[in-house]
Chain A
Amino acid sequence: MTTRHEGEDLRDRGLDEMELDRRLSQTWSTPAGLWGALSTVDHKIIGRRYIVTAFVFLALGGILAMAMRLQLSQPEARFIGPDRYNQIFTMHGTNMMFLFAVPVMEAMAVYLVPLMVGTRNIAFPRLNAFSYWMYLAGGLLLWIAFAVDTGPDVGWFAYVPLAGPQYAAGKRADIWAQMITFTEVSALAVAVEIVVTVFKQRAPGMSLDRIPLFVWSMLVTSFLIIMAMPAIMIASSALILDRLVGTHFFNPAEGGDVLLWQHLFWFFGHPEVYIIFLPAVGMVSTIVATFTRRPVFGYLAMVMALIATGVLAFGLWVHHMFVAGLPRLGESFFTASSMAIAIPAGLQIFCWLATMWAGRPVFKTPFLFVIGFMVIFVIGGMTGVMVASVPFDTQVHDTYFVVAHFHYVLVGGAVFPLLGAIYYWFPKITGRMMSETLGRWAFGLIFTGFNLTFFPMHILGLQGMPRRIYTYQPEMPWSGLNMFVSLSAVILAAGFLLFFIDAIRSAVSGTAAPANPWEASTLEWATSSPPPPYNFARLPVVGSLEPLFNNPETLPVASGLSVDRRELIVSSVVEALPEARESSPGNSIWPLWSALATTVLLIWSIFTPWAVVWGSIPVSIALIGWFWPKGTPEDDA
């Protein structure tokens, strides 16, 4: 029988498995139906939603890319005119960077980090819900604008004066700038949640040196987001102000500076690519460990490399401005720092190679994608060292050479690990396995298609083909390679199509997955596939870096938490000693209202500055509604 004191809530001590599951499910689950979907604060549901949405944006961005390749397949082609083409390449870059790459990495973290650190929900669950709605709103703003021919057309980095009030007519550039606000608010919110979850909600005993490498990479990434995104918030706000109310931040005629935009943008923009890459590094570490059946070699070195990369990332931004006319001495510093960041990256590669060498590889699909990552990302890293050199860059900047470089590092360095990660964690998220056969085919097509599409672009750049041109003249020697690239892109697209087909089919009718199909060693595999709403019936207690090493029969756990209200453990930052039980907020519709109110304010402010004043009233009301206690057990404990 249960033990209950007067006035005290019911705890999990003395409850049997079935009773525990029943009560916890009641406390933690999301009601079925629309209301449940709109008010859930379950990180798993929100994480899944985020991942799916990001992949939808990936597909849309891919369609844009195919349109560009069609137009560029022949000289002076007339499929797409300059105005539409300028919108398309701007949308492609903006969509991929702001609506796919960063959100999908954050989404994986939202789903996985709480499970990997052994807690029941992410920190600030309502903020998590809010951040998804803001992300969706920003994405819809951008794509609806594009659909009605008001898409931004100034490039994903929107240089002024081209994007400024004098040369960018209409609201296209304002829509771009405000979309930034949506996605940055969303990303900052998730970053704060992850930092607090990793610092304060780890399972008892998970000291700093027992944190999984993926969690470390998400922690460092979150700090990068926190320190880098304010720069683009300031930049995009200054741009809107210049356009809307006549400020002169970027107007050289009145004391402003054109390069100020570039400095602010790239101070954010360079860390941005590490915000995309570092989570992938964590994914690679996880997959390498599982599929070589040993922990990653050099845990401490790997953590140090992550931190070093994060810090160095802030010291490189001028390498995007090597031809803007800055003093030589300053530029040379940034050559040195841009080359230096290859060192921690190299260290990580060597540690993975050492792990593979010392381990016993299992060549399943997730591991194939990691091997593909090694091949492709190292090429990207090599061309990165090339463009880090100022004189080299003066010849290849703004040419197809750079297009090749960043696709090699972003697709090789982030998308390949991501695809491997999807194959790897799909069983945990959905309870079903993806197809090993289709996975191999998808990998083969994507790997081949990618290299055939993007390698020739190095050559095109060296042959003088600049970026962001909607066509080229027949006299130039670029026609043959461009046609080859466009045809190869079809192979790449086919590979992605196969991946999407596999994912959808498997989600519906894939083989049922056990709790730990890969015999992995991190905590998310210590619960069912998919996990119950409360993640773990009792929170794990951790004694090593690999809690599930060698498939133990029992899991050490802690007891004493409430089952009547949502509760998890707060632990100390370094040693993860339990400090308190903490209530975790239940389902709430207020994050949705707040996101709607904020959306109205932000979109309205594209048209008038007074929107900030009047629009803040519904926002304040929604936020007060959010925080005002409702008398639930979680509120008043």
Chain B
Amino acid sequence: MRTGRVLLLSIISAVAGCSGNQAALDPQGAPAIHIEHLIIGITIVCTVVWLLVMIVLGWALLRKRSSDSSQPGERSLTMIVGSAVAATVIIIAGLTIASFYTTRGIGLPENAALTITVRAQQWWWQVIYADPDPVLSFQTANEIHIPVGQDVRIQLESADVVHSFWVPSLAGKQDLVPGRSNSLLLRAERPGIYRGQCAEFCGLQHTHMAMMVIADEPADYQRWIAAQRENEAIPTDQDAAAGKIVFLSKPCAACHTVRGTPATGTTGPDLTHVGSRQTIAAGLLETTRGSLAAWIADPQTLKPGNNMPMVPLNSVELRNISAYMESLK
């Protein structure tokens, strides 16, 4: 049985692929690890059951029958069918109990010390690190940092429709339902970048609503928090400085916030530290000056139907504003 388990595991891992940072079978967090054990266990049991049924099917159809048409005993058939049903009941009960054990093992988000609020929007993730002292609170978008080895409670809210928060390498998913407050326990055992994606159909760009959860060593995490709490990095580069002027004069500030500037819009993601994030547009593009330019130039072609309108800019303005965005680390 053990070799079987190893064999099955290797098949599954091979199948899980190298880029396993969004895979239930490549778990890196305690909740996902519990679930992975259950997945493997149930899959083995179910595969064995299916094979047994197939063997009986094949035998029933292909067995040699004696040439006379005598019927085998109904009584013995009844006993066999009865035993099969009894076995089914036992297996079902066992699987149910295994499921309950896994649920119990996962633990409750309410017990976690650290709470991060995620407010889902069509089609991006607003991330709020609240602190009792408002000066220490900050917001970011589409990227969440958590300290390694700690339980984290993700408070789930929605600004519009039902979304679902799912980072399979760390935990199962949970919906964000307007009018309700759900929560999810996240926990990473190892540092790394874990990708997630919205898992409840939420409209035109449900497809492009990904997020990154980055697990940092505690020291790195504190550094990140401190950096995020800072207001905007004042641009030193010439292009970036010019870009800031463009940013403030165009409609950008109506939707976006850059703390420390007059831009305080809240419809779109907070851009105070956009340059420090791995991706933009909810996981659509890697954060580079070029992709920033492409996005700002024409968001509707890259992510048709999303809520960011195209703002006409000439090439100089575009170069400058993307330099500014990149500089907001």
Residues in chain A within 8 A of chain B (CB atoms): 81-83, 86, 154-155, 159, 161-162, 166-167, 252-253, 256-259, 294, 297-298, 301, 323-325, 328, 332, 335-336, 339-340, 342-343, 346-347, 349-351, 353-354, 356-358, 360-361, 363, 371, 374-375, 378-379, 382-383, 385-386, 388-399, 459, 462-464, 466-473, 475-477
Beyond A343-B89, A399-B199, 4 additional pairs, beta carbon < 8 A? A82-B305, A161-B161, A388-B99, A398-B166
Is the pair B92, A477 in contact by a Cβ cutoff of 8 Å?
Answer: no
Q: Do A397 and B199 contact each other (CB < 8 Å), given the known contacts A167-B160, A382-B50? A: yes
29 example contacts (A-B, Cβ-Cβ < 8 A) are as follows A83-B305, A159-B201, A258-B178, A258-B179, A298-B81, A323-B172, A323-B173, A325-B175, A328-B103, A339-B96, A346-B85, A347-B85, A353-B60, A357-B56, A357-B59, A357-B72, A360-B69, A378-B54, A382-B47, A390-B103, A391-B35, A391-B172, A394-B174, A395-B24, A395-B172, A462-B16, A463-B15, A463-B17, A463-B23
Closest A residue, CB atoms, query B202: A162
Closest A residue, CB atoms, query B88: A346
Q: Do A162 and B203 contact each other (CB < 8 Å), given the known contacts A82-B305, A167-B160? A: yes
Name the contact of B19 in the complex, choosing from A395, A462, A477 (C-beta under 8 A). Answer: A477
Is the pair B17, A477 in contact by a Cβ cutoff of 8 Å?
Answer: yes
Specify which of B25, B60, B178, B201 lies most central, judged by the most chain A CB atoms within 10 Å of its CB. B201
The segment out of B36-44, B226-234, B260-268 that lies at the interface is B36-44
A394 contacts across to B, CB distance below 8 A: 35, 171-174
The segment out of B204-212, B249-257, B290-298, B318-326 that lies at the interface is B204-212
* Bound complex: CA A397 to CA B180 (Å): 20
Is the pair A82, B168 in contact by a Cβ cutoff of 8 Å?
Answer: no
Name the contact of B179 in the complex, choosing from A83, A252, A358 (C-beta under 8 A). Answer: A252
Name the contact of B203 in the complex, choosing from A167, A258, A343, A354 (C-beta under 8 A). Answer: A167
* Bound complex: CA A459 to CA B17 (Å): 10
A396 contacts across to B, CB distance below 8 A: 24
A351 contacts across to B, CB distance below 8 A: 81
Chain B: minimal CB distance from A308 (Å) = 12
Q: Do A325 and B18 contact each other (CB < 8 Å), given the known contacts A162-B162, A354-B80? A: no
Name the contact of A358 in the complex, choosing from B42, B71, B172, B207 (C-beta under 8 A). Answer: B71
A395 contacts across to B, CB distance below 8 A: 24, 32, 35, 39, 168, 172-173
Residues in chain B within 8 A of chain A (CB atoms): 12, 15-20, 22-25, 32, 34-35, 38-39, 42-43, 46-47, 49-50, 53-54, 56-57, 59-61, 63, 65, 69, 71-72, 74, 77-78, 80-81, 84-85, 88-89, 92, 95-96, 98-100, 102-103, 106, 122, 156, 160-162, 164, 166, 168, 171-175, 177-180, 182, 195, 197-207, 283-284, 304-305
Q: Do A389 and B42 contact each other (CB < 8 Å), given the known contacts A161-B178, A463-B23? A: yes
* Bound complex: CA A332 to CA B88 (Å): 20
Is the pair A462, B23 in contact by a Cβ cutoff of 8 Å?
Answer: yes
Is the pair B168, A385 in contact by a Cβ cutoff of 8 Å?
Answer: no
Q: Do A466 and B304 contact each other (CB < 8 Å), given the known contacts A297-B77, A386-B42, A477-B17? A: no
Closest B residue, CB atoms, query A325: B182
Is the pair B53, A389 in contact by a Cβ cutoff of 8 Å?
Answer: no
* Bound complex: CA A332 to CA B57 (Å): 33
Is the pair A385, B164 in contact by a Cβ cutoff of 8 Å?
Answer: no
Chain A: minimal CB distance from B211 (Å) = 13
B174 contacts across to A, CB distance below 8 A: 323, 325, 394
* Bound complex: CA A340 to CA B91 (Å): 10
* Bound complex: CA A336 to CA B97 (Å): 9
* Bound complex: CA A292 to CA B69 (Å): 12
Is the pair A335, B161 in contact by a Cβ cutoff of 8 Å?
Answer: no
* Bound complex: CA A358 to CA B38 (Å): 38
* Bound complex: CA A364 to CA B200 (Å): 44
User: Sorted from nearest, which 9 A-B pairs have the closest CB atoms?
Assistant: A252-B179, A394-B172, A477-B17, A464-B22, A325-B182, A389-B99, A382-B46, A357-B60, A469-B207
Is the pair B99, A392 in contact by a Cβ cutoff of 8 Å?
Answer: yes
A343 contacts across to B, CB distance below 8 A: 85, 88-89, 92
Name the contact of B304 in the complex, choosing from A81, A323, A349, A361 (C-beta under 8 A). Answer: A81
Is the pair A297, B81 in contact by a Cβ cutoff of 8 Å?
Answer: yes
Is the pair A389, B166 in contact by a Cβ cutoff of 8 Å?
Answer: no
Name the contact of B84 in the complex, choosing from A256, A350, A388 (C-beta under 8 A). Answer: A350
Is the pair A325, B180 in contact by a Cβ cutoff of 8 Å?
Answer: yes
Chain A: minimal CB distance from B303 (Å) = 9
* Bound complex: CA A298 to CA B79 (Å): 11
Q: Do A342 and B88 contact each other (CB < 8 Å), given the known contacts A389-B38, A392-B99, A472-B207? A: yes
B95 contacts across to A, CB distance below 8 A: 339, 385, 389
Name the contact of A392 in the complex, choosing from B42, B180, B206 (C-beta under 8 A). Answer: B42
* Bound complex: CA A357 to CA B78 (Å): 13
* Bound complex: CA A253 to CA B178 (Å): 9
Closest A residue, CB atoms, query B78: A298
Specify which of A81, A82, A340, A343 lies most central, judged by the most chain B CB atoms within 10 Å of its CB. A82
Name the contact of A467 in the complex, choosing from B57, B98, B178, B201 (C-beta under 8 A). Answer: B201
Is the pair B25, A462 in contact by a Cβ cutoff of 8 Å?
Answer: yes
B16 contacts across to A, CB distance below 8 A: 462-463
Is the pair B57, A374 in contact by a Cβ cutoff of 8 Å?
Answer: yes
B80 contacts across to A, CB distance below 8 A: 350, 354
B304 contacts across to A, CB distance below 8 A: 81-83
